[in-house]
Amino acid sequence: MSGIVTLTAAGAIDATYRIGALRRGTFTRADSYTREVSGKGVNVSAALAAGGADTAAVVVLGVDDVRFARCGLTAPLLRIVEVPGATRVNTSIIDADGATTKVNAPTPPLSAEAWDATIHTIRAELAARTAPWLVLSGSLPELAGTGRLVDLCAVRATAREHGARLAVDTSGAALDAVLADPAGIDLLTPNADELSAAVGRPLLTLGDVVTAAREIIARGVVTVLASLGADGLLAVTADRAVFARADAPYVANTAGAGDAALAGFLLGLTRAPAATAAGEDPLIVAAASAAEWGAHAVAHASTIVAGPPHGIRASVETAPDLVRALTPEGEA
């Protein structure tokens, strides 16, 4: 059985408040409040499941919140690694204009025993699947008492052991660690800011993004899926660049859009044999699917999408205008 296993080494509880207006330093009563188990890998698996894929979400959660996690909509997907205490809480505040203010709790360190248990759980899930994907999503914790991030070599070795293709969606110090030795990564999914930081220069046009992505590809990555926010996304390989963009019916919550886009891309790739047989280009199918799922996600009030996109169609360019300017930050 093929499938997609996601890893969230720093699980979270997502708390989402909807308010009329956010005014700094004042009391505000929320109009509504939701709470759900999250973390980027959980979000990806939820979208994959909504798209009909076989998926499991390996996630590290505090034991205080395991009962809550097992009662949620994503419970059947979760493969929980329990650690002492409570799970960190990430907070989104969404105002009446649809703007999202997000505050994420710091990532707690992980013991060596918990990391070993996490790798063991990944190994078990990959072993149950043929030619799977392993998706490493979200921030990485430090190994307790070392001041260093958990060892990614164990993740890569486990993927290789089971013939799994490896996708990585992370940022900050974890992304720096990945980029220091990215050989063997099949899919890397930075946003424009992360890609800019990786190459050490601003990215102002689509051409700038393609050039930066190919610098990463030259280090050993197969495909870079660059998220450009409201501008769309670019799927870049060593010799191709496909641009895709889709309009959301409305904007309810931008948190989780990148996770849904990654899920959409992987869902598109799972249709590659059928697409090829039908004379379609798998990279085009995957890029379009990513844009549609991303647009679908922003129309959801929560970070977990409940079903596949309907009525959203991406526009795709196989020869994008490389001099097209990106929208400046804050003007989307």
- The CB density around residue 213, as the number of other CB atoms within 10 Å, is 27
Query: What is the chain's Cα-based Rg?
Result: 19
Alpha-carbon torsion (65, 68, 74, 75), positive or negative: positive
- The CB density around residue 198, as the number of other CB atoms within 10 Å, is 21
The residue behind tokens 């097992």 is: 70
For 233, half-sphere exposure in the C-beta direction (CA atoms, 13 angstrom radius) is 32
Q: What are the beta bridge partners of residue 32?
A: 18
Catalytic residue among 14, 65, 208, 259: 259
- Token reading at 199: 């190459």
At residue 36, the 3 state secondary structure works out as strand
Instruction: Return the DSSP state at 88.
Output: P
Confirm whether 259 is a catalytic residue: yes
CA–CA distance, 324 with 42 (Å, rounded to integer) = 34
At residue 53, the 3 state secondary structure works out as coil
Which residues, in sequence order, are CB contacts of 106 under 8 Å at separation 6+?
Answer: 88
CA–CA distance, 188 with 203 (Å, rounded to integer) = 17
107 with 172: CB under 8 angstroms?
A: no
259 with 296: CB under 8 angstroms?
A: no
Which residues, in sequence order, are CB contacts of 312 under 8 Å at separation 6+?
Answer: 246, 247, 248, 249, 292, 295, 296
**What are the two backbone dihedrals, phi and then psi, of residue 254, each rounded to the nearest 5 degrees?**
-85, -15
Residue numbers annotated as active site: 259
